[in-house]
Amino acid sequence: MQLLYTINSPYARKVRIVALEKHVDVELNEVVLSDPDCPVSQHNPLGKVPVLVLDDGEPLYDSRVIVEYLDHRTPLSHLIPQDHIAKIKVRRWEALADGVCDAAVAVMLEQRKPEAQQSQAHIDKQMGKVLQGLTVLDADLLKKKWCVNETFSLADIALGCCLGYLDLRFKHLRWDGKTWQDKFVNLAKHYSVLVKRPSFKQTMPQP
């Protein structure tokens, strides 16, 4: 199976980390979305990465579907718990972390437009979602070692990919003069643990 991805997509990084943590072999195909020959739209009508193309040609998207597929490829150390309640908790963490990424991506796309076409109201609205999302993630994490049930899971992976994306694209972001690391100390501490894992090191976004 082959993963179509871009190096700095936080959603594709989540998939790559799950594949590494689960020791599932995936052929990596890095694409350039703006390239006219980019193969993504042949496999995903939404034209988005990541897409996992299975050996029989069937494409899987989006990242949430792909991580579930990969997690079930081997019975070893499930990243999505089997227990229903624990699974729902993990998936809510993922939904919020991905949602913060969605808002951050929207800001980045707006800021790439020529200045006269940018909407400050749209940027402020999306940045509000980033701030609210991080506030809730930080409060939910508190001093816990892992996001859910004292076990490393997809929740930690999704959170780490979200924080890695903020670090990549919004290094200069400040709230009342504070970086996200200063403002959200629980998240910063957790992130410093996550980035030591080989799966995170191998998939570090490229500035």
Omega before 83 within 30 of 0, i.e. cis: no
Neighbours of 198 (CB within 10 A): 10
By beta-carbon proximity to ligand GSH, the closer residue of 9 and 153 is: 9
Q: Give every CB contact of residue 164 below 8 A, 6+ residues apart in sequence.
A: 10, 13, 191, 195, 200, 204, 205
Q: Which residue reads 């990465």 in tokens?
A: 49
Q: Which of these, 40, 45, 50, lies nearest to 19 by C-alpha position?
A: 50
By beta-carbon proximity to ligand GSH, the closer residue of 130 and 183 is: 130
Question: In angstroms, how far apart are the furthest CA atoms of the chain?
Answer: 53
Shortest separation between residue 177's beta carbon and ligand GSH, angstroms: 29
By beta-carbon proximity to ligand GSH, the closer residue of 106 and 188 is: 106
Residues from 66 through 125 that contact ligand GSH (CB under 6 A): 98, 105
Residue of minimal Cβ distance to ligand GSH: 62
By beta-carbon proximity to ligand GSH, the closer residue of 165 and 183 is: 165
Binding mask 9-48 for ligand GSH (x = CB under 6 A): x-x---------------------x-------------xx
